[in-house]
């Protein structure tokens, strides 16, 4: 596969766009990917009225375009919109927009392991800087696409993860929204960890209990079990997390969703991984905790992590059957 630019920095030529007024969506259209013109008083600039999704279309072995778990992402966008008091885009509308974006940009889908990253986005555009106490009356809903390779630079490699026990990534009840404010809240901690410690990401574990990293869910993995924290309102309900757990059960692993203390993570003798649409399943090689570096397993990406990652990516590309009906072929 030809080398792709850094993740998310180039864009496919066509996008889908719709607008809403007073909570009602108009007809959507396919347009050339181009700039929007927004008033400087637009609600999104001042009051953060924005949410989004991230999913992928993969090129199948037969040349087909295969969208992974579109229905689940469309449903999660509804959840995020409702948490932000934005009009939720109907699931069937999101499905139709995403599928048409994939069809019109089919030639932009890279060969595996690359993919076409899809970003449905909903923003408030009402020009009113006195609207802090009410939702925007108007807005835009659009779907853009970006041909991508690996999320972390350097491809598949063991990651360095700082464990943070004081700062939170987000707040109870709002962390499950996929919105820029949650990423912004974590960014200062992630940037400092990268600059000072060479960390790739930060695992937030307020009060000594693991939640998630700045951009991914977190798993402990061994030869026979996959362990992860239970879902809560404090962090994102990852579609890749759910997919990995269901695949793990099918492959014979025991799955445990339970509170995960930091000390158990530090004492774990197996593997650790981050899961997410962008990251897929990325192995952890080192934890950084209170100034100490702790090697995870052999320090390399583990065999079980790679087994689960391959099980997932084989469904993406059609190498393996799709027993769950996750893939939409367009």
Q: How far apart are CA 126 and CA 143, in angstroms?
A: 20
Q: Is the pTM value of this prediction over 0.75?
A: yes
CATH class of 159-316: alpha beta
Whether residue 302 contacts residue 268, with contact meaning beta carbons closer than 8 Å, is answered with no
Query: Three-class SS of residue 175?
Result: coil
Instruction: Return the CATH number of 14-148, one of 3.40.350.10, 3.40.50.300, 3.30.470.10, 1.25.40.10.
Output: 3.30.470.10
- Give the three-class secondary structure for 40: coil
* Three-state DSSP class for residue 170: coil
Stretch 32-58: mean pLDDT: 98
Confidence of residue 173 (pLDDT cuts 50, 70, 90): confident
Per-residue model confidence as pLDDT tens digits over 215-256:
999 999 999 999 999 999 999 999 999 999 999 999 999 999
Q: List pLDDT tens digits, range 131-142.
A: 999 999 999 999
**Which residues of the chain form beta strands (DSSP E)?**
14-21, 24-25, 29-32, 50-52, 55-59, 65-68, 115-124, 138-148, 159-164, 201-204, 217-221, 225-228, 254-257, 271-276, 280-289, 292-295, 327-329
pLDDT at residue number 102: 98
| Whether 217 contacts 282, CB under 8 Å | no
* Catalytic residue IDs: 178
Segments making up each domain of the chain, as ranges: 14-148, 159-316
């Amino acid at each position: 596969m030809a080398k792709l630019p850094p993740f998310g920095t180039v864009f496919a030529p066509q996008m889908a766009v719709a607008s809403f007024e007073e909570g009602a969506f108009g007809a959507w259209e396919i347009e050339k990917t181009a700039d929007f013109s927004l008033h400087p008083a637009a609600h999104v600039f001042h009051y953060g009225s924005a949410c989004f999704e991230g999913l992928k279309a993969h090129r199948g072995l037969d040349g087909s375009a295969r969208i992974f778990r579109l229905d689940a992402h469309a449903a999660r966008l509804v959840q995020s919109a409702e948490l932000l008091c934005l009009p939720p885009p109907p699931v069937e509308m999101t499905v139709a927009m995403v599928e048409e974006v994939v069809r019109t940009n089919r030639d932009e889908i890279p060969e595996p392991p690359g993919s076409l990253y899809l970003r449905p986005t909903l923003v408030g555009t009402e020009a009113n800087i006195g609207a802090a106490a009410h939702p925007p009356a108007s807005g835009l809903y659009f779907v853009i696409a970006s041909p991508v390779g690996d999320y972390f630079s350097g491809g598949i490699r063991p990651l360095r993860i700082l464990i943070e026990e004081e700062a939170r990534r987000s707040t109870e009840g709002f962390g499950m929204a996929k919105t820029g404010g949650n990423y912004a809240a974590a960014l200062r901690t992630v940037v400092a960890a990268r600059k000072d410690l060479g960390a790739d990401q930060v695992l937030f574990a307020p009060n000594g209990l693991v939640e998630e990293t700045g951009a991914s869910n977190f798993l402990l993995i061994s030869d026979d079990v996959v362990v992860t924290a239970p879902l809560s309102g404090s962090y994102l309900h990852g579609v890749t997390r759910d997919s990995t757990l269901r695949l793990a059960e099918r492959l014979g692993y025991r799955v445990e969703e339970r509170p995960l203390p930091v000390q158990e993570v530090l004492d774990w003798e197996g593997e650790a991984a981050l899961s997410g649409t962008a990251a897929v399943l990325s192995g952890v090689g080192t934890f950084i905790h209170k100034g100490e570096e702790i090697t995870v397993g052999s320090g390399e990406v583990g065999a079980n992590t790679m087994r689960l990652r391959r099980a997932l990516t084989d469904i993406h590309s059609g190498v393996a059957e799709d027993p769950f009906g996750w893939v939409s072929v367009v």
